[in-house]
Every structure is written in C-alpha cells, then in structure tokens.
Amino acid sequence: MWKQLKDSLWRVPGPDVARPEGPAGPPGGGMPAPRPHRESPALIEQLARALHRYGYSAQQIEDALTLVAGRLGVRGEFFATPTAIFAALETADHDETMLIRVEPGSVNLDKLSRLDQLTRRIADGEVSAAEASATIDAIRSEPPRFKGKTRVLATAVVSAASARFFGGGWREMCVCGVIGFITGVLALLSVRDARFRLFEPVAAFVAGVLASMAAVVLAPTSAYVSMAGGLIVLFPGLTLTIAISELATQHLSSGTSRLMAAATLFMSIGFGVAVGLKAGAAVFGTVAAAAPIALPAWTTAIAVLMASLSFVVLFQASPRDIVWILGVCALAFVGARVGAQLLGVETGAFVGAMLVGIASGLYSRNFDRPSVVTSTPGIIMLVPGSVGFQSITDMLARDAVSGLQTAFTMIMTGVALVTGLFMARLLVPRRRWVTWRPRKER
C-alpha cells in the first residue's frame, strides 16, 4: 500500500495522461494553445497600434487580432475605427477591456508586410510573446526607407505625371510639378511641426494662385488640370474607397468615419482653391478657360512608369516589390482605360479594380505577402479623387446641378472599385492566415 501511494505521488504524467486544453486548440488535435501569459494583452495592444499605423483597414485589424489572441490563449472581441480600437479580452484568470487611442497614420508597405509575416508567425505558434514584442519594437523604431527629400521629389513627379493622365501638355506638367513640390514640402513640415498639421487648405490656396499665374504667363495653360494634377496626392480617393468597402462589409462606424473625413478634406481643399483663384485673379487678372495642348500618346507610358515609381517611394515599399507594383499599376491603368472606352467610366473602374485584385491575390498567394503591397498603388491609379475635386469646384462655382452629377459619378466609381475588388476575391480566394483556427463554441 505504501509503495502504491508513493508511486502515485511521484508519478510524472506521461502521454497516456489527459492534459487540460487551453481556450482554443487546433481542430485536428495536436498541441493545444498555450495558456495566456501576462504579456499577451500588452502584445495584442502593441500589434494593434502597429497594424493600424501602417495601413490595415478595420476588418483586417480585427481579423488579425482575433487570430493572434486565439493562439495566445485569450478570448478576444475587437472593434476597430480610424481613431480608436476597443479590445475585450477574457482569460481563465481575469477579464480586461482596453481602449487604444490611435491616429490615422501613413501607409508603409514595407513595415506592414513585415508585421503581416510576424502576425502569421505568432498565430502559427512560431514565436513567443516576448520575441514578437521585441520584433514589433524593432520594426517601429526603424527609420523610413525613403526620407523627406526623396518623398518631396516623388510628390512632384507623381503630380507632373497626373497632369498627363488628365490630358495636359508640357505646360500643365511643369506647373503640376511645381505645385506638387510645394505640397510635398508642406506635408514634410506638417510631420515635423504640429503647427502645419492642417496644411491641405494652404497647399490648395498656393495651387490656385500658381494655376492662375500660369494661365496668364504660360498661356494657353489649363488652370483646372494644373490644380487637379498638382493636388492629386492630397485627394482622399483611397480613403473614400476604403470607406465604401467598410460600409459594404457592415463595418458601419469605421466606414462612416472615413467617409466623413474624405468629404471634409475635399471641402477644405475646395475652399483653399477657391480663395487661391480669387487671389490670383486679383493679382494676374481674370483666368480664361484654355484647352491644354496634348502630348504624343507614347508619353502616357512614361507617365505611368514615373507615377508607379513615385508610389513606391510615397508608400515606402520594399525594392523587392518594385517590379510587381509596376506591373499591377500598368494593368490597372490599361484595364481602366480600355473598359472606360468600351463600356463607360464606372465600368472601366470596375474592370481595372478587378484586374488589380486578381493580380494582387496571385501575388499574395505565391509569395506569402499581404495583397495590399500591390493593390494599394494599383487602386491609387483608379480612385476618383479628381472627380470629387471637380464636384467641389462646381459647387463653389454655384453650378449645383453639375456638382451633384459629378458627386454621384464619384460615388458610383468608388462602388465600382469596391465591387471589382470583391469580385476578384471570389475568383482568387485569399491565402490562409494560419495552419489552424480557434474552435467555435458549441
């Protein structure tokens, strides 16, 4: 009897002894999810801030955090908006609710791709919470790949290339390049000095003055093309597209916030342009409407190439993805132009977005990287930012009918973009995030 009691007290659990399973284990058995560690909530908060800062949408943030929390042994419910992330975490020991205050950041495709890979490794159980936290700190502390002067130059180049997309000639391209350079400088100052935080109306005012001066000094020069191309980097067309996408997927709070932010930015840019045109007319005289002198067709290919390279700089993409970004941008431009000529503007946007979604999905599945690396620059080639600008200028010119028609065209173009991306997702399913998923409650 004493021998049996001694053996039962000192017996080490072997493979035949049932082990307790964590909150979420792999569907097919195997090692269960680890028990929640005290570092798990801190890691979830840290990852949420990083994913939000570098460009993930609300749905992508919620999906990523849910998978990571399941692997860490935490039952989590998440709610992401453009300015805050709410997290309700439940473990066997205690419950915790967090409000993570965040601000919309600038897209950094290189860091976002690395965070995406880290998220997959966490969800697959390849790294510990401490190692993941150190990696996130290292990614966030790294300086941007392309510094301020390079970004200013890229802004000027993409503005000049946009003038060619709008049918402008060499005069409009030069004016757009100057306006884009000034806009890039103001954007750089807004990052370094909080007093320049609201720089968009100032840039729009400068664009209106310079466009008025160019229309007189460099006649014939189209003032509208000069302003639209010079301010193209400020137009919230991508924000509008993401807002429509979130509304379509029932992320109503985030989608509404982004939609109102885009509308407010459009109006502030329109107000700045209106004041700039008034000031320019007072100094240089009345600006007459002029049709730009078009350049040869082969110059469009150069404009697409230069714009795509500028997007690589502005979105901080990795050099290894340059070829794929150039290919997707070219595919988007050609698809949209051919579709618009055959079936109309909205259908052209749908065709271009579907091609971007298919190409980005194939890129993601083949190289195991997030599709946003190529889809973001590709969609930028299609977003209806200039249409929204035209709508605001028509409204300010007291042409309400034309302004409302243009605004409706902008909304329909955004819907066409989102529909094209959803259609591409059906044709090319998204890659699997992890090798296992948390089991649902019975």
Do residues 84 and 106 share a domain?
A: yes
328 exposure class (CB count in 10 Å sphere: 0-12, 13-18, 19+): buried
Pick the last residue of a domain from 105, 120, 141.
Answer: 141
Do residues 362 and 414 share a domain?
A: yes
Asked if pLDDT for residue 235 goes beyond 60, the answer is yes
Alpha-carbon distance of 230 to 236, in angstroms, equals 14
Do residues 175 and 278 share a domain?
A: yes
- Which whole number is the average pLDDT over 212-236? 87
Give start and end residues of each alpha helix (H) in 344-438: 345-367, 372-380, 385-396, 400-427
Residue 162 within a domain: yes
Between 136 and 385, the higher pLDDT residue? 136
Residues 6+ away with beta carbon under 8 Å from 415: 244, 346
pLDDT in tens, 46-81: 999 999 999 888 888 998 999 898 888 888 899 999
Residues 6+ away with beta carbon under 8 Å from 164: 173, 295, 299, 300, 303
Do residues 424 and 343 share a domain?
A: yes
Do residues 50 and 118 share a domain?
A: yes
Residue 72 pLDDT = 86
Q: What is the mean pLDDT of the chain?
A: 82
Asked if pLDDT for residue 420 goes beyond 50, the answer is yes
Do residues 150 and 116 share a domain?
A: no
Poorest-confidence range of 4-8, 166-170, 373-377, 420-424?
4-8
In sign, the C-alpha dihedral spanning 429, 433, 434, 437 is negative
Do residues 114 and 224 share a domain?
A: no
Pick the last residue of a domain from 141, 159, 187.
Answer: 141
Q: Would you state the structure tokens that stand for residue 63, as one six-digit string?
A: 């999906």
Asked if pLDDT for residue 30 goes beyond 80, the answer is no
- Which whole number is the average pLDDT over 85-104? 86
Residue 22 pLDDT = 38
How does residue 402 score in pLDDT terms, banded at 50, 70 and 90? confident
Q: SS3 of 214, please?
A: helix
Do residues 137 and 155 share a domain?
A: no
Amino acid identity at 202: V
**102: how many CB neighbours lie within 10 A of its CB?**
17
Do residues 115 and 72 share a domain?
A: yes
Do residues 235 and 221 share a domain?
A: yes
Alpha-carbon distance of 269 to 275, in angstroms, equals 10
Residue 313 pLDDT = 94
Alpha-carbon distance of 71 to 380, in angstroms, equals 35
Do residues 229 and 328 share a domain?
A: no
Poorest-confidence range of 28-37, 144-153, 386-395?
28-37
Instruction: Give residue 159's domain range.
Output: 146-295
Asked if pLDDT for residue 429 goes beyond 90, the answer is no
Residue 394 pLDDT = 65
Do residues 154 and 248 share a domain?
A: yes
In sign, the C-alpha dihedral spanning 423, 429, 431, 435 is positive
- Which whole number is the average pLDDT over 365-385? 86
- Which whole number is the average pLDDT over 133-139? 93
Nearest to 54 by CA among 149, 145, 140, 142: 140
371-to-56, 109, 241, 311 alpha-carbon distances in Å = 11, 10, 16, 16
Residue 323 pLDDT = 94
**232: how many CB neighbours lie within 10 A of its CB?**
28
Residue 250 pLDDT = 84
Residue 388 pLDDT = 59
7-to-3, 16, 153, 215 alpha-carbon distances in Å = 6, 16, 76, 96
Residue 365 within a domain: yes
Q: Count structural domains, the chain.
A: 3
Residue 7 within a domain: no
- Which whole number is the average pLDDT over 95-113? 88
Q: Select the highest-mean-pLDDT range: 10-19, 126-135, 189-198, 401-410.
A: 126-135
In sign, the C-alpha dihedral spanning 171, 398, 186, 287 is positive
Residue 355 pLDDT = 93
In sign, the C-alpha dihedral spanning 282, 285, 289, 291 is negative
Q: Residue 160 in contact with residue 172, Cβ under 8 Å?
A: no
**20: how many CB neighbours lie within 10 A of its CB?**
7
Alpha-carbon distance of 356 to 335, in angstroms, equals 9
Residue 158 pLDDT = 94
Asked if pLDDT for residue 212 goes beyond 60, the answer is yes
Between 435 and 104, the higher pLDDT residue? 104
Pick the last residue of a domain from 262, 295, 328.
Answer: 295
Share of the chain above pLDDT 90, in %: 33
- Which whole number is the average pLDDT over 117-129? 88
Between 237 and 357, the higher pLDDT residue? 357
Alpha-carbon distance of 167 to 155, in angstroms, equals 19
Residue 26 within a domain: no
pLDDT in tens, 251-304: 888 888 888 888 888 889 888 988 998 998 888 887 777 778 888 989 999 999
Alpha-carbon distance of 343 to 24, in angstroms, equals 50
pTM of the model: 0.82
Residue 311 within a domain: no
Nearest to 230 by CA among 189, 177, 267: 177
18 exposure class (CB count in 10 Å sphere: 0-12, 13-18, 19+): exposed
Residue 302 within a domain: no
Torsions phi, psi for 98 (to 5 deg): -125, 140
Residue 397 pLDDT = 62
- Which whole number is the average pLDDT over 205-211? 92
Amino acid identity at 14: G
Poorest-confidence range of 188-197, 322-331, 338-347, 363-372?
188-197
Residue 28 within a domain: no
Q: What is the helix, strand, coil percentage profile of the chain, to 5? A: 65, 5, 30
Residue 83 within a domain: yes
For residue 77, what is the DSSP state? E
Alpha-carbon distance of 400 to 383, in angstroms, equals 23
